[in-house]
Amino acid sequence: MTNTNPIRPKLTIRLCGPRGFCAGVDRAIQIVVLALKGYGAPVYVRHEIVHNRYVVEGLEAKGAIFVEELDEIPEEHREQPVVFSAHGVPKSVPADAMARNLFYLDATCPLVSKVHKQAMRHQRLGRHVVLIGHAGHPEVIGTMGQLAEGTVSLIETVEDAAAYAPADPDNLGYVTQTTLSVDDTEGVIAKLKERFPSLADPAADSICYATTNRQEAVKQAAPGCDLFLIVGAPNSSNSKRLVEVALKAGAMQSLLVQRASEIDWDAIGTIGTLGLSAGASAPEVIVNEIIEAFKERYDTTVELAEFSVENEHFLVNRELRSIELTHDDMAWVNG
């Protein structure tokens, strides 16, 4: 009998751990899910709750409505909850919500809130705040919005740090966006400290543990990879940093993909080792979807490239803690 099954090429997938949802993202999504269970649809969400279209569309299907500003909420829904995204918001946003008598639930990641507090601490101690981050990112907008205009300066690159000319060079303190590349940020901080020796550190690291852990796992897995795929959205800062980290650490090529359907199989070429990780906003179900897509085309072996195990868990808002959250409630993202 003739065997009509083509011989599939062998492929080793180095699956990074940790990957995907961090505790702050998990908490933010849970807040919207619980609000829908407890208060019914619609639940409004200001800005994307996290930077992932699959998550946003999944919550929309459950009854969430995403808006950019609070004035988009119609009068007849003013008693329904509105959730602020995990990236954090300027102080003006909750103030606006209170002025409109809106019931709001703040899903800001606790580690982003910690950066807000560190920035405000610098200011209380008489320091001008230097924020290292990406202009226009919601987290940066939220952090700058904790402070009075003119009291914080944004630095994006080593070149920015070299050109920075503060009014009082001896009274500076810095914080960083939580989702930056650890290595790139070290270069910016080093340049600032070279120029301003009295620059004060934040009370604790600003780049969050989840960002650091995912980058370190990718660094360890990347050498020898013919291709490294990062599951994440184009507007996800931490996901884009993982692509850069993979290339710097030795992967032959590295790509950002949102779904298996985006993979250009003809362009991949011949590969024997694939690295795979996911940004902190990317659901595990999509990681599984991509693994299955490769298994259909390759004789696949999956190896876990684990850097660390994360056990962090952040409580949801007090108003939601009496509402039961089941496995089925989160299966659409967690599998």
Return binding residues for dimethylallyl diphosphate: 51, 87, 137, 236-238, 281
Rounded Cα distance between 274 and 294, Å, is 10
Closest CA to 294 of 14, 31, 44: 14
Residues making up the annotated binding site are: 22, 51, 87, 109, 137, 178, 208, 236-238, 281
75 burial (CB, 10 Å; 0-12 / 13-18 / 19+) is exposed
Rounded Cα distance between 246 and 181, Å, is 11
**Is 139 one of the annotated active-site residues of the chain?**
yes
Q: Please say whether the beta carbons of 237 and 263 come within 8 A.
A: no
Packing angle between helix 209-221 and helix 237-248, nearest 10 degrees?
30
Cα separation of the two ends of the chain: 40
Rounded Cα distance between 134 and 156, Å, is 6
Q: Both tokens of residue 91?
A: 């102080």
Residue of 60, 139, 244, 284 with catalytic role: 139
CA atoms within 13 A on the CB side of 244: 13
Residues making up the annotated binding site for isopentenyl diphosphate are: 51, 87, 137, 236-238, 281
Q: Where are the beta strands (DSSP E) in the chain?
A: 10-17, 43-46, 64-67, 81-84, 103-106, 128-132, 152-155, 172-176, 227-231, 254-257, 273-278, 299-306
Residues pairing with 302 in the sheet: 13
Neighbours of 64 (CB within 10 A): 22
- At position 7, the amino acid (one-letter code) is I
Closest CA to 111 of 178, 48, 50: 178
Residues marked active site are found at 139
